[in-house]
Structure 1
């Protein structure tokens, strides 16, 4: 099932997308495996806490956010957002299944450069059983307002 705010935003953008159902998974790496998609093409979201409010960092599922790199890129003190903040921002999603499209939730977004220019990209739809699938060029268009940078490291 696609979260209602995400679905509305995707339809408003007029970009083609599909969905991929998969068995329930708790983590992004399990999700990539269950859905048979490459981990470096599965975009996962990490909510970052900042004094001015939260923002979304979007990285490949087989990577983790390097808070030092991100902090110097944003030039602010950062930390991972607590679970409660995540639930408040993504109130139409299952806990831990936040989509990477911050614009649908009025959350500023920064995306890692490694997710640009891919042939296909997948991301959480808002539950733990559905992925949104898009052509990479459409994903790049969808994320055009996000800041870009290089701020992740391998697990």
Structure 2
């Protein structure tokens, strides 16, 4: 599968440079970082959140955990983790469990953890379990500039 169609379209429309990095199959974001030999705190993973008014994408480093209570206090809405079926419905051009963290490509509200801003490089899922996108950190920051930002995870 490699690059998801919506992600590819969104990246092309942004005009920001990126590289495609392939690696052996990995089931989780942290395994992706290990297989691709990239730092876990520089690989952005996505977690789909269920809110009363619709889904939201939380983006955080692969080696961190989402702090639901911190996120809930930031957005002032009751939240929970979305079921896997909702993730598969929204990211229907991706392999199950390989959702890219670029919510704008899927018309999803997105919040990005502050620790992913200002990095030298950032990597993220491209839509399957073997392909990552690599971007300069400043380009990733531009890509995510319309997302909300905050401290939403713990190490």
Q: Could you tell me the TM-score, scaled by structure 1's length?
A: 0.99
Give, in whole Å, the separation in 1 of the partners of 2:44 and 2:152.
Answer: 14
1:57 and 1:115 map into 2 onto residues whose CA distance is: 12
Q: Which position in structure 2 is the counterpart of 1:40?
A: 41
Distance, in Å, in 2 between the alignment partners of 1:145 and 1:76 is 20
Match of 2:82 in 1: 81
Residue aligning to 1:60: 61
1:20-66 Cα shifts (integer Å, max 9, x gaps): 10000001111100000000000000000001000000000000100
Match of 1:126 in 2: 127
Q: Distance in 2 between matches of 1:27 and 1:6?
A: 19
RMSD: 0.4
Q: Indicate the SS of the match to 1:54.
A: strand
CA distance in 2, matches of 1:151, 1:134: 22
Q: TM-score, normalised by structure 2?
A: 0.99
The answer for unaligned runs of 5 or more in structure 2 is none
Give the corresponding residue for 1:140: 141
Deviation at 1:103, TM superposition (A): 0.2
Rounded Cα–Cα distance in structure 2 between residues aligned with 1:56 and 1:109:
5
SS of 2:133's equivalent?
strand
Q: SS in structure 1 opposite 2:17?
A: coil
Q: Counterpart in 1 of 2:27?
A: 26
SS in 1 for 2:54: coil
- Mapped to 2, the partners of 1:118 and 1:105 lie a distance apart of 24
* Corresponding residue pairs, total: 154
